[in-house]
Every structure is written in C-alpha cells, then in structure tokens.
Amino acid sequence: MAILSSTIMNDTECHKCGYNLRGLIEGARCPECGTSARKIYTQSKGTMSDEAPTHFVSKLRTGFALASIGILGTLVFSGAGLIFLTSLFWVAGIWIATSPRPGQGAILPDKILDNERYRQAVRMMNLAWPVYGLALLAASAIMSKPAGPSMLIKAPVFFMLLVSGAVAWTGLVPTCVYFAELGHWASHDKLAQRLRATAWTMAVFGVITVLLKAIHAIHIGPSDAANFLSIFTVMVLVIAVAVFLFTILQLTTVMHWVMKHQQMTEGSADRVRRRIERDMQGHGSFVSDLICEYCKYDLEGLPIGGRCPECGESYDEHTGSYSAPVLSVPVMMSRDESDIEIEDGDSRGIYFNSELDANGKPKQDAHAFNPDEDVSETEDIKVDDADSIPLAGESFDGDGDSFDDLDESDNPTS
C-alpha cells in the first residue's frame, strides 16, 4: 500500500553536506552525499538538534574547542608573550563560533544570532585581545628595565594597554550573550544563565584590574594602594575566568552530544516508514514497534488508526486509517447459555467486631464463628453488648422456634 509523503517546499540544507533539498520527498536521501534527510520542525521544535545541519554544529564545536584552549592558556601561562599566543586561539575560536547560521528557511529566526551587526561587533571587540597581549608584552619589557625609556615611549604603550584591555574585557559581555543564545538554542538554559552572569563579573573586575595596573605602572596617584587592591580583583578575576572556562568546555561537550543525537536520529523517518508499510501490508491490524511522538508512549499492540491511551493524540498519520469489521447480526446476538460451574468452598467462619483489630484483621486469640456448625439449642452464644445478635442456622431463639414456626403470638410487639 502506498503512503503519501510530503515534499520539501522550502530551501532546506542537507544536515551533512549542505546540499539544497528543495523539491525532494521528506525522508529521501540527499543526491549529493546519500544521507537521509531529517525532518525539519520549522514551527514546533526550534532546537539545534532539529534545525541545525550537522556540519554547522561541528563548526561550532571546533570554535568552542579553540576558545577553550585560549582560556586555558591564559590561566596556565603567566608570560606576556604566551598570553599573546593564547589570545590568537581565542580569537580564532570566536571567529568560527560566530559564523552565520545557515538560514535557508529551516531555522527559526533569532534576534541575537541572526543579527549581522551584533555578530560583527562581537568579532571586532574580541580582536582587542591580541592587541592587549602585545601591550602587556611591551609593558613588561618597559617595567623590567630600572631606568626605563622616556615618557614619549611609555605613554603610548600604557595608553594602548589601557584601551585594549578595557575593550577586550568589556567585549566579553556581548560575546557571552551570543554564546548564551547558542546555549538556549541547544536547550541548555542553565548554561546560558551562567554565561551571562560570568560575563558581567569578568567585564567589571577585568576593567578595574586594568585601571589599577595602569595606575601602578605609571606611578601616578596612590600607585601602591592600587597595586594592593589589584591583588583582590585579580583573585576574583581568576575565579570568574575558571568558571568561564568550565562553561565553554561544557558548551563544547553540548555541541558534541547534539551531533551524536543527530547521527542517532538519522534515517529515523525511513525506519518509521518501513515499519508502517510492513504493518499496513500485513494481515494484522495492530501497531508494532511504534512510539507516540507526543508523549513517547509505546503503541505496540494497539489498533491501527487509533489514539494514544496516554495523551489522547491520534497516530493514524503514522499507521493509516483502519475500520473495524462489522459483525453480522447472528454473530452479534449470539449468547453463551451454558451452565456456570460453581465450586463450593469451605467456610472459614465469621469474626465479630470485638475480635478484630484496628486494621480489620482477626486478633491472635480471636475465634471464628461458623454458621454451618451445629449449635446447641440450650447453649447461648456469647456476644458483646456492642455487637449485633447473629442468627445461628435455623434457630431463632432459645426455645427452638424457627422462622417457619413463628406466629403472631411470638411477636412481642403484637
């Protein structure tokens, strides 16, 4: 039985090679690389795993990995020359991670990630880090000489150090905002919130540290007090940078798992279609190996064309419609008139309320009353005042009168 398939009407990239899949059937294979085309949820999902091509996620992972190397080098190496080299890794990672998203109709627009001016501003502000590294290298060379050069040389160097440092540390705020939006796109909200908080901490204490170091280097004003205060700002800055490094490494791992998830779901539409065709072409009328796409309930064994018993959503689009066979009138009206076999069991007796505990179970010293046992006509049954008087067999009272022997004379109310 043929199954209707929808055609990809919008410009949609292949998630592996970037080929335009417009005009192909959903779930068909890419004519360029041969991989199965994943379904794009343009109006419902909006997550990186569903929207972003795999090659673009791989590019993001590479960018975050290079940025992590740059941050790690800044924490480990204290030399100004090595800081300049590690800043190159950071800028390269930023440049790759801020690549424009493939916007061929398959990705929901975002006011931050798809803002070309904002993206270019993030790139330009992070170019201040290599300049800041060179300024640190020049300032270290000046400070290492006791006599030192004249103020004509010192002034431009320290001015470049001050300006580039302020721009570099301040630029972490828009950079982390951009990364936070990538975290939201990857469905990792906590990581995005941590990025924003860490960015403001590094920006504030980074600028303060640059100002204090410049005051101490130029020897203007309270230079000794500025050098002392810079110790505490540097401590806070190191902690913030360490948290920032951990977050960027975590973001790199998130990109890796997004790629893994895309590889696992690759070709899932083909597998579902094959199962549906097998179920509809077979003699049976029940679903096999199908999961509800809304609540993930296992629909195996349910009738074709029904609704999920968990969430109530219909799954007939995956199984097709099915009409139950109409039974004939004789079959519908036939009844089983055979006798019902009843087996007599032994009576275990009856317990009065006084012999039951708080949970309704017989006490250890309780005695079960069995109405099937013969009861002496002269022996009274001991019953508490709070309990009702039971009827023992056919006997009604101590005189031996039964229900059949009662007359109006025995009725005390007459």
CA distance 233 to 206: 8
Q: Which of 189, 185, 128, 188 is nearest to 160 (CA)?
A: 128
- Interval 19-25 mean pLDDT: 76
Q: Report pLDDT for 114.
A: 85
pLDDT in the model for residue 26 = 64
Compare 283 and 187 and report the one with higher pLDDT: 187
Contact between 252 and 65 under an 8 Å Cβ cutoff? The reply is yes
What is d(CA 371, CA 57) in angstroms, rounded to the nearest whole number? 81
Other Cβ atoms closer than 10 A to 307 = 15
- Whether 42 contacts 10, CB under 8 Å: yes
Element housing 277 (H / E): helix 268-281
For the chain, percent of residues with pLDDT exceeding 90 = 9
The alpha carbon of residue 178 and the mean position of all alpha carbons in its chain are separated, in whole angstroms, by 21
Grade residue 64 by pLDDT with cuts at 50, 70 and 90: very high
Q: Give the domain ranges of the chain.
A: 1-39, 52-263, 267-326
Closest C-alpha among 283, 300, 284 to residue 292: 300
pLDDT surpasses 50 at 271: yes
Distance between CA 208 and CA 222 in Å, rounded? 15
Look at residue 291 in the predicted model and tell me its pLDDT: 82
* d(C-alpha 61, C-alpha 26), whole Å: 28
Question: What's the mean pLDDT when you consider all of the chain?
Answer: 74
- Confidence band for 93, pLDDT divided at 50, 70 and 90: very high
pLDDT, average across residues 280-290: 60
**How far, in Å, CA of 127 to CA of 125, rounded?**
5
